[in-house]
Amino acid sequence: MNPGEWEDFLRDAHNEPLDPAHYTAVRARVLSSVGLRPAQASEARWWRFAWLTTAAAILLILAALRPSKIPPPPRITLAIPPAPAAPAVCPRPLTATARTTRPDHQPITIKLQTSDPNIVIYWIAD
């Protein structure tokens, strides 16, 4: 056979449908290597499902019936003290002599320069 005939032969063998008996034989071999008969496998699946469902139901029931361990928050009551009384103040009359200037006091002059050399700002403060 030349290589082209081998490719045709393999392609035809690959496209052939398999008989369901072959699937059954493979399934029986796998289950026998695992140690279960086909009837036991379906029964084991059913029991596993039953156990898992029962365990899940029990856990849900226990979670629903478990009392909460978080106590309610304590009630806090505070007594707000009354505002203090306003201090007694004697108003002092303002007179023209209330503001006195010191004889050696000179105003502070601050020179502010801007980015434009023609603009200079002088700030005079007392």
Each residue's pLDDT tens digit, 83-98: 888 888 777 776 655 5
Q: Per the confidence metrics, is the pTM higher than 0.75?
A: no
Q: Say if residue 80's pLDDT is above 70.
A: yes
Cβ pair 122, 111 in contact under 8 A: yes
Contacts 24+ apart (CB under 8 A), 109-116: none
d(Cα 126, Cα 122) in Å, to the nearest integer? 13
What pLDDT is stored for residue 59 in this prediction? 92
Q: What is the pLDDT of residues 12-45, one digit of tens each?
A: 887 878 788 988 998 888 887 877 665 666 677 7
Residue 103 falls within a domain, yes or no?
Answer: no
User: What residue numbers bound the domain in which 46 lies?
Assistant: 3-65
Number of domains in the chain: 1
Residue 101 falls within a domain, yes or no?
Answer: no
Q: Is 3 helix (H, G, I), strand (E, B) or coil?
A: helix
User: For the chain, what percent of residues have pLDDT higher than 70?
Assistant: 85
Structure tokens at 39: 């009837």
Task: Kindly report the average pLDDT of the chain as a whole number.
Answer: 81
